[in-house]
Amino acid sequence: MSTSERPSVRRSSVRTGVVWDAVTARIEPGASVVDIGGGTGGFAVRLAQQGHPVTVVDPSPDALAALGRRADEAGVADLVTGVQGDLTDLGAHVGPGSADVVLCHGVLEVVPDPGAALGTIAGVLREGGLLSLLVAQRHAAVVARAMAGHFQQALALLDDPDYRVGAGGRGRRYTADEVIALLADAGFAVEATQAVRVFADLVPGSLLDLEPGATAALVDLERAVAGRSEYLPLATQVHLLATR
């Protein structure tokens, strides 16, 4: 089985395809990138392969070790820098106004003060620099809990962005309006908003694994609805591009 045929790779393409397309369509050649909470480097290494210098700031030593291995294997270790750090102390690792692009994917959910975190990101971006922000959306989580028969959890989630499902539950979930307001308060102008994973989490993994061509067709469908506002409330995640 080739790498691109592996189920995990196929599922990853469904989850990240829309975001990757939007970022790579907008990013300028050679632009410097800071990937805050970039983890094991799924985005960072691919961007480095396109010639971008990328700094990944992440608190997890394990994730940073995996990032280093991945960058080595891809032959881009010279372009990828891993730094152990936190969004709240980003300014200690990245100079003020120095980044062309900041990626903040799946992190605003876990910081204690999202408004302050966006202010910190604005501080390291150069004027006119680009923020790619990906956050968990509350509406889809309500639907998912209800469809699983957890009606009380769905009810609790409706209006409580911090409601956690179980002890290890994920952090804050946003509506698109909430995150757009937070961005405006931090001085960002939103350029684009798109729906991510509208169908992907509703489709059984076994269907994608067994049905030839199903993953590619699902990726096409996700692309087709990403920019349609009527699908935004159904999306597991909201992706925004914003400039400082």
Ligand X SMILES: C[S@@+](CC[C@H](N)C(=O)[O-])C[C@H]1O[C@@H](n2cnc3c(N)ncnc32)[C@H](O)[C@@H]1O
- Does residue 38 bind ligand X (CB under 6 A)? yes
Report in angstroms how near the CB of residue 213 gets to ligand X at its nearest. 26
- Does residue 123 bind ligand X (CB under 6 A)? no
Only one of the segments 47-55, 99-107, 151-159, 179-187 lies at the binding site for ligand X (rule: CB under 6 A); that segment is 99-107
Report in angstroms how near the CB of residue 108 gets to ligand X at its nearest. 9
C-alpha 110/C-alpha 162 separation (Å) is 10
Comparing CB distances to ligand X, the nearer of 116 and 217 is 116
- Does residue 17 bind ligand X (CB under 6 A)? no
* Residues that contact ligand X, how many (by CB under 6 A): 16
What are the DSSP calls for 179-240, one per residue?
Answer: HHHHHHHTT-EEEEEEEE-SSTTTS-HHHHHHSTTHHHHHHHHHHHHHT-GGGGGG-SEEEE
- Does residue 239 bind ligand X (CB under 6 A)? no
Report in angstroms how near the CB of residue 42 gets to ligand X at its nearest. 5
Report in angstroms how near the CB of residue 193 gets to ligand X at its nearest. 17
Exposed/middle/buried for residue 213 (C-beta within 10 Å: 0-12, 13-18, 19+) = exposed
Spatial CA neighbour of 57 closest among 139, 5, 120: 120
